[in-house]
Amino acid sequence: MEQQLEDLQKQANKELAEVSDASALEAWRVLYIGRKGKLPELLRGVKDLGDEEKRVIGKAANILKRTLEEAYSVKQESFIASAPNKLMKALPAGRQVQANEASVGHLHPITLTIERVQNIFAAMGFIIADGPEVEEARYNFDALNIPSDHPARGEGDTFMIDPKSVSGEQDVVLRTQTSPMQIRSVETMRLTPPFYVIAPGRVYLREKVDATHESTFYQFEGLGIGEDITIADFKGVIAAFFSTFFQKDVTVRLRPSYFPFVEPGFEVDMSCVFCAQKGCRVCKYTGWIEVMGAGMVHPNVLKNMNIDPTKYQGFAFGGAIDRLTMIRHGINDIRMFWSGDIRFLRQFSNCHSGPRAGIHVDAGSSPA
């Protein structure tokens, strides 16, 4: 029996050396280590041997099995490396793929939403503005009418940057919202009314992470200032946005709310896009889904923009990119976005963000 194993090994090695393509390799696998191959056939004989022999031969046979399987993988990998464009059997479950299939990437679902949001607002005449994630506290809070004793400014909610790591005297934070982009964009672009700005970007909160909260997430800020811009204008713009985003007729409703940088302020709900407002689990049987905070820009904030509040007025809004993405695609756990799980990400390979539009402006940088 030992001799038989040795012969088998020699023969298998010799033939494997001559294998030069994937189908020959598959034939070799079936012949030697496949379920009905030569090695399993030999192994079936082991049970008829005496105890001592069973132990020795059994061990040798198992070593041979592993050696042949390893030789098979090495050969298989050499094909993958040397023939990137040939059809081959290389993936689990014998799935046939083009070797170059793996190298074709696509955009992350969050990036797709950011672009979709930008494109829709840009088509309505909004300028797209980019700004820093490491932000001066005066933009993130003070200029937005948020006093220094406001609870949101505490270390419990905000990631503080060590002042020693940045030059200058001012307090620096990871921005907790995209709202600092309101004043930043007006300043850096020297905007004078009327103007419309959209500023999507990443923000940070010291949150306990769960299925609906992340400490790192994305918002989009909107700002529209002019002589006679009213809440009715805001309602029209935002209903047009959601209708285009979801490709459905969406209506919005405003509920009174409070944000220090707007007066009046409101929460914005959109009509449920899943049940035509009949009531379903997504809208918790209310027919409405809460989607953003908004309001008419506070006179103090207009002053901080160097805009005369007796002459001009307008709206500001802030929405959550992650949430829109989750609603649009029926994703129920926000942590998926950072999971790096290729099985999750691959599902968005055919999504697109709509026709490209707009002017993109770099509106400021982090304190250095």
Cis amide prior to 264 (ω within 30 degrees): yes
Shortest distance, position 257 Cβ to ligand PHE, whole Å? 8
Sign of the dihedral defined by the CA atoms of residues 142, 147, 148, 151, in that order: negative
- Residue 201 as a binder of ligand PHE (CB under 6 A): the answer is no
Task: Give the distance between the most distant pair of CA atoms in the chain.
Answer: 103
* Between 161 and 197, CB nearer to ligand PHE: 197
Residues from 167 through 186 that contact ligand PHE (CB under 6 A): 177, 179
Letters for 206-245 (x = contact with ligand PHE by CB under 6 A, - = none) are ----------------------------------------
Binding segment toward ligand PHE, per CB under 6 A, in 79-87, 269-277, 311-319, 329-337 = 311-319
If binding means CB under 6 A, how many residues of this protein chain bind ligand PHE?
11
Q: How far apart are CA 40 and CA 83, in angstroms?
A: 31
**Inter-residue contact 107 to 354 (CB < 8 Å):** no
DSSP string, 45-58: HGGGS-HHHHHHHH
Smallest CA-to-CA distance from 20 within 70, 68, 66, 88 is with 88
Stretch that binds ligand PHE, among 8-16, 207-215, 292-300, 358-366 (CB under 6 A): 292-300
Distance of closest approach, residue 87 Cβ to ligand PHE, in angstroms: 51
Q: Contact between 196 and ligand PHE (CB under 6 A)?
A: no
Quick one: tokens of 169?
């005297």
Angle between helices 231-246 and 321-329 (to 10 degrees): 40
C-alpha distances out from residue 230 to 234, 263, 293, Å = 7, 12, 16
- Confirm or reject binding of residue 33 to ligand PHE (CB under 6 A): no
CA distance readout (Å), 248 to 278, 321, 355: 15, 18, 17
Q: What is the DSSP secondary structure assignment for residue 156, as one 8-state letter?
A: T
Query: What type of residue sits at position 93?
Result: A
Q: Indicate the residue among 33 and 142 with the shorter CB distance to ligand PHE.
A: 142
The position carrying tokens 């170059």 is 100
Contact between 262 and ligand PHE (CB under 6 A)?
Answer: yes
CB of 320 to ligand PHE, least distance (A): 8
Q: Which is nearer to ligand PHE, 294 or 305 (CB)?
A: 294
Which of residues 295, 314, 364, 367 is near ligand PHE by CB under 6 A? 295
Closest approach of ligand PHE to the CB of residue 299, in Å: 14
Residue span binding ligand PHE (CB under 6 A) among the ranges 32-40, 74-82, 312-320, 336-344: 312-320
Note whether 318 binds ligand PHE by CB under 6 A. Answer: yes
Question: Shortest Cβ contact with ligand PHE: which residue?
Answer: 318
Residue from 180, 260, 293, 367 binding ligand PHE (CB under 6 A): 293
193 near ligand PHE (CB under 6 A): no
CA distances in angstroms from 141 to 11, 157, 348, listed in the order given: 77, 13, 36
Min CB(362)–ligand PHE separation in Å: 21
C-beta of 132 vs 265, nearer to ligand PHE? 265
Three-state secondary-structure class, residue 178: coil
Phi/psi class of residue 271: alpha, beta or left (left: φ > 0; alpha: ψ in -120 to 50)? Answer: beta
CB of 309 to ligand PHE, least distance (A): 16
Q: Which stretch binds ligand PHE (CB under 6 A): 34-42, 114-122, 316-324, 352-360?
A: 316-324
Residue among 28 and 126 whose Cβ is closer to ligand PHE:
126
Residue 37 or 295: which CB sits closer to ligand PHE? 295
Buried b / exposed e over 191-214, threshold 16 CB at 10 Å, is bebebbbbbbbebbbeeeeeeeeb
Structure-block tokens of residue 205: 């909160």
Based on the shown chain and the rule CB under 6 A, indicate whether residue 200 belongs to the binding site for ligand PHE: no
Q: Which residues make up the interface to ligand PHE (CB under 6 A)?
A: 177, 179, 259, 262, 265, 293-295, 316-318
